[in-house]
Amino acid sequence: MIEFKQTKKDKYRFLVKSPMGKILLRSIPFTSKGSMESSLKVLKNNEGIHAKLFERKTTTEGKFLVELKNSFGEIIGSSGLYSSEAGMENGILNISNTLESELK
């Protein structure tokens, strides 16, 4: 599920959540609701949420995370930390599936 939020500082963000309510990905803060919706529309207009939109990273502590980029290469969201690479890959799959089903 995708949840939309307005922050206390009049910024907008979206959260991608698992069916159990766990946050899989938190977007960057957008300056307006329109810019957030435009960013999601660009994702929707892709031919699916491709793995190339995800940048895999490893922290200095050996944890894994992923950043979601739009088709222009700009970061629009980040995951939480994963303890394993396999967990991160599973997270990418869950994020992709959720975005694809919600953005139809």
CATH number of the domain within which 96 lies: 2.30.29.80
Kindly state the tokens that stand for 20: 């159990």
Instruction: Tell me the percentage of the chain whose pLDDT exceeds 90.
Output: 58
Query: Which secondary-structure segment (H or E) carries 39?
Result: helix 33-45
Segments of the chain scoring below 70 in pLDDT: 45-51
The model's pLDDT over 22-37, given as tens digits with 9 standing for 90+, comes to 999 999 999 999 999 8
Q: How many domains does the chain contain in total?
A: 1
**Is residue 21 within a helix (H) or strand (E), and if so which, with residue range?**
none
Q: How does DSSP classify residue 103?
A: T
What is the dihedral sign for C-alpha 36, 56, 96, 7? Answer: negative
Q: SS3 of 102, please?
A: helix
What domain range includes position 85? 2-102
CB neighbour list of residue 74: distance below 8 Å, 6 or more residues apart: none
What global pTM score does this model have? 0.86
